[in-house]
Structure 1
Amino acid sequence: MKASDDTYVTPIYILSGFLGSGKTTLLARLIDYWQEAGLKPAVIMNELGDVNLDGLLVKQEVPMEEMLGGCICCSIRGDLGVTIHELIQQEHPDLIVVEATGAANPMELLDGVTETALYMKLDIKPLITVVDSAYLMELFDRQQGKTYRLMQEQIRCASVLILNKTDRLESSRMQELVKLLNQSNPYASKIPAVKCEVDLRELLIEGEGTQRAFDHAGESQHAHRHNQSHSRFRGPSHHDPAHPSEPGQASEEHDHHHTHSHVMVHTHYLSGPVNSEAFERLVADLPRDVYRAKGVLTFSDTNNSRFLFQYAYREPDFMKITPQGDIPDVVVFIGEHFDKEELSRKLHALEAGTLSME
């Protein structure tokens, strides 16, 4: 299925990490990986300044949009949806990667991308953060400063952490690094790397919400990959082009996945109008781990009127709207390590009219 197909749901990846951590190096490796699989990636690159020097490292044949002069999560956040929309309409990519400036707040960025999912069919992948291991430990020794707090936030929000530049750390410091990361984010997969040289297929599978134990701080990646029997991880879905399968590869990972990942987004496109009271009951029963939601819905018991739905601080809000253009009915949920399967089950029951009102 091509990205130009109206039914296609475009995967979108977000790369986070402080300035100089190695995000662009990882991006270049990912582009090569997808292109070798016959896919067409597109890139949105954000820089605080007026010139995008990192963009020069991206291949010229890769469609790229630059968002300059501000942080994607604040001053130019409103432009993000327009940029995503234009890329999909004009370039029809198989997937999009958003590389945010190192000063970006990941949660604000995720929130901005989910707004676009209200009118564009997007599959928002879990966030990947590249950690400058040596610099983080240097800041940890000082225990102060906005940079350290920002790096902690980027770490806390990730589902996958690439521990880059580990060659600059002594073994004792590596153990401290792992302990620090486990304290900040015990749920994320942690992959040590030098110059972001990682198994990219493994990275993308890990990003689907799985947890891999990093039991030994000094353990090499090679040895770790041969110890996968101690981890459960979710294989790529057959319709997702972002995880190209290798010939003859077993697909038994599908039987062992779980969906209790860390910070994540669950997007559900509704098949038709739903009952407003049943939907309000579903929202009232959301676990506290879901702290943000939004959507566009049609209610069957209000003469098929359409509403913009917002949910924050456990309070829902509905506004009657008349969307322009072909806007699908969709709800998007943001939270931490909640049960996506259970939420999906309730949403399907809502559509079928069988959701319990008790």
Structure 2
Amino acid sequence: MSIAVNLVTGFLGTGKTTAIRHLLRAHASAERWGVLVNEFGEVGVDGALLDGDGVAVQEVAGGCLCCVSAPAFATGLNRLIRQRRPDRILIEPSGLGHPAQVLATLTGPLYRDVLDVRATVCIMDARHLQSPRHREHPTFVDQIHLADVLIANKADLYSAIDLSAFEEFVWQLKPPKLAIGIVEYGRVDIDWLNVGRDSGRRAAFPESHAFLVDSEVETHAQDARHWILIEGTGDGYRRASWSISQRRPWRLAALRGVFSALGLERIKGVLHTDAGWMALNDDTWQDIRTPGDARSRLVLIDTAAIPARALDRSLRELDDGDD
């Protein structure tokens, strides 16, 4: 029997991982589910966030599944299929990942007899419709164009203008979506995964990632504590990623102060603190289970320069404590 597959797309910060965690909690326990997750940073964070939900998780970090990480995507997907034999796989590309090539791979001859590709679900933030930077970004546009299901998440933060703009926007989309939702906190209806798939959808910018090559990827500060900082650029964004084995848990109050002052577009991390393991998602902190790989991980993304070296010094000072 073919394995059901859903692509869950969405731009940076729309709540894809939160939505997937909700779906994982809602699915029938008799079904084996797997998740293939890709991140723009070189250090994986989402895999650690999903790992505690009792499903098989395969991570592909560094670049987008559609271009730089394409070979790793096939390797990760094959490993997930071979080792876990799931009934369904949810695939979460990076927020900067263009879905066209991923869909072409999933529906191509290599997987045609293995996978049953179901609805592509796009999680968006309706407030981004008021932002020219988002409306003019090819990946943002095509994540919406290629979706069978379009979900406006974070509705608790919307104004009446945001809701009206979203409703006007979706009714103009051609071909129409098979399902449209407005939700809070990633509470996606699990039935939306099975509404069907329109194979006639076409990307407006199919070549937008065709010649994208990451540049300026540089690794810094490796030492005996396994402290790695990686900086890079790609698709108009800068990123900094950390993987750290700490001497001691960081003080949560101090971490809050460090990160609240950054003001970056995307901050995501799994961090070992004196209050336990915490997930950081922009300005939201949440308790999580101890990850299988007990390292703190952090990814920062922005179009402007990221103060990575200064932040690295601050984190090292917290780790050194009173030494």
Q: Per the shorter chain, which TM-score range?
A: 0.5 to 0.7
Which amino acid in the other structure matches residue 154 of structure 2? K
Shift of residue 12, structure 1, vs aligned partner = 1.0
| 1:16 corresponds to | 9
Whole-angstrom distance in 2 between the partners of 1:137 and 1:119: 35
Instruction: Output aligned runs, 1:252-267, within 5 Å.
Output: 261=198, 263=200
- Is the contact made by 2:47 and 2:58 (CA closer than 8 Å) also made in structure 1? no
The 1-side partners of 2:154 and 2:174 are apart by 19
Amino acid at match of 1:163: A
Corresponding residue to 2:64 among 71, 96, 121? 71
- Please give the root-mean-square deviation of Cα atoms over the aligned residues, in Å: 2.4
Q: In the alignment, residue 72 of structure 1 is paired with which amino acid?
A: L
Deviations 1:7-29 (Å, cap 9, x if unpaired)?
x2111111000011011011111
Is 1:100 equivalent to 2:90 in the alignment?
A: no
Could you tell me which residue of structure 2 aligns to residue 176 of structure 1? 165
Q: How far 1:200 sits from its partner (Å)?
A: 2.0
Distance 1:262 1:119 in 2: 14
One-letter identity of the residue aligned with 2:146: C
* Mapped pair 1:43 → 2:35: yes
The aligned amino acid for 1:150 is: T
Say which of 45, 55, 60 aligns to 2:47. Answer: 55
Distance 1:53 1:147 in 2: 28
Report the TM-score, using the length of structure 2 for normalisation: 0.57
Paired residue for 1:163?
Answer: 152
- Structure with greater contact order relative to length (CA < 8 Å, sep ≥ 6): 2
Question: Is the contact between residue 81 and residue 113 of structure 1 (CA under 8 Å) also seen in structure 2?
Answer: no
Aligned: 1:123 with 2:136: no
Shift of 1:58: 0.8
* CA–CA separation in structure 2 for the residues paired with 1:50 and 1:185: 36
Per the alignment, do residues 144 and 264 of structure 1 end up closer, same or farther by CA in structure 2, a change over 3 Å counting? closer
Question: d(CA) in 1 for partners of 2:144 and 2:60?
Answer: 23
CA distance in 2 between partners of 1:166 and 1:30 (Å) = 18
Secondary structure (helix, strand or coil) at the match of 1:74 reads: coil
Code of the aligned partner of 1:183 = Q
Point out the structure with max Rg over C-alpha. 1
CA distance in 1 between counterparts of 2:22 and 2:133 reads 33
What is the CA deviation profile of residues 276-330 of structure 1, one whole-angstrom value per residue up to 9, with x for unaligned ones?
A: xxxxxxxxxxxxxxx9xxxxxxxxxxxxxxxxxxxxxxxxxxxxxxxxxxxxxxx
Distance 1:101 1:168 in 2: 23
Letter matched to residue 21 of structure 1: T
Query: Contact 1:16/1:100 (CA < 8 Å) preserved in 2?
Result: yes
Change (3 A) 1:170 1:185: farther
Measure, in 2, the Cα distance between the counterparts of 1:157 and 1:91. 28
Deviation at 1:153, TM superposition (A): 1.3
In structure 2, runs of 5+ residues without a counterpart are 207-323
Structure 1 unmatched runs, 5+: 1-7, 210-260, 266-290, 292-358
Secondary structure (helix, strand or coil) at the match of 2:12 reads: coil
- Calculate the TM-score normalised by the size of structure 1: 0.52
Displacement of 1:74 in angstroms is 0.6
1:190 matches 2:180: yes
Map Cα deviations across residues 63-93 of structure 1 (whole Å, 9 max, x no partner).
Answer: 1111111110011212322222221111111
Q: Which runs of 4+ in 1 moved over 6 A?
A: none
